[in-house]
Amino acid sequence: MLLVPGAIGCGPPVYADRVWGSLAPMPPSRQGRQDQRMGMDTLDATSPAWSLSRARLNALRAELPRTPYVEHVRVRITDPRTKSSYEARGAVAISPGSTVRMILLGPAGTTALDLWVREDRFRFAVPAIHLEKRGATLPELTRGLPVGFFRWWFLSPLSGRLLAAHSRPDETSFLLKDDRAIVTVRAGSSELIALRREGENVERISWLPCTLDRFQVESRIKPCAGARGRYTDERTGLVVDVVVEDVAPAPPDPAAFDDPDEPQGASQ
């Protein structure tokens, strides 16, 4: 079950951004070192590898589902102040480019966490303690919550206009402009690393693909059992670890994507 320290037992409810705490922003010098490690200083849109890089980006995007689907997942959220981890299993229903709904279950099968995210809005709820937070998906309003991860990685992980790229035989780096954010991506055969910057907010994904066997990667980014990743909000220190246990063969109920607070979603 996802436990929320300070919000269970006596005392008033504490919102998740206060519960999970925050850390100082990543120093600019460290941001620069991360860019260099990802090879972004070598990107050049006029290089001979440009066409190859575009083809590789299109191939990655082609792996992404176009229709709604459900993943059964194991999620661990790490508190940066106490280094405590809150782990639970549940399901994530994804309507690509539209809506994400994640429900994590407690040991008795009750809802431990209910997260609903669209491109511009979110709702985060822990029903057991009557905790709810909702609003626009602006970084200053979602700080300390795992909203950014699900909005970015599950809704539109590789969206944006390709500005520059650099290819090597075993990996490709991309620079994307996605609305107000700049996204850098390094895609290798065994790992995909992405860094998203929007203003002072920096988010990072490290995603390990599922494999057919120890030698053959089944897919680098499409949903499949065994894929796992780590999301880090560098500004707050929030860490979310996700393991995909399986992908449901049937699509989700369309009602899963309704706003839970609207009349049509009131029963969800």
The count of other CB atoms within 10 Å of the CB of residue 203 is: 24
Check pLDDT > 70 for residue 255: yes
Which of 38-42, 111-115, 152-156, 196-200 has the weakest average pLDDT? Answer: 38-42
Task: Please tell me the pTM assigned to this model.
Answer: 0.75
Can you tell me the mean pLDDT for 128-142? 85
CATH architecture under which domain 22-247 falls: Clam (2.50)
Can you tell me the mean pLDDT for 249-262? 92
Residue 23, pLDDT score? 20
Q: 153 φ, ψ to 5°?
A: -75, -35
- Rounded CA-CA distance 168/236 in Å is 34
Confidence of residue 99 (pLDDT cuts 50, 70, 90): very high
Q: Which tens digits make up the pLDDT trace of 137-173?
A: 887 788 778 888 888 888 888 999 999 888 888 888 9
In the chain, DSSP assigns E strands to 69-78, 85-95, 99-105, 111-118, 121-126, 131-136, 161-168, 171-178, 181-188, 192-198, 201-208, 210-211, 217-219, 228-233, 239-247
Q: What is the average pLDDT value for the chain, to the nearest integer?
A: 78
Residue 72, pLDDT score? 97
Check pLDDT > 80 for residue 8: no
Can you tell me the mean pLDDT for 19-44? 40
Query: Which residue has better confidence, 122 or 108?
Result: 122
Q: Which tens digits make up the pLDDT trace of 52-82?
A: 888 999 999 998 999 999 999 999 988 776 6
Residue 30, pLDDT score? 44
Task: Please count the residues of the chain.
Answer: 268
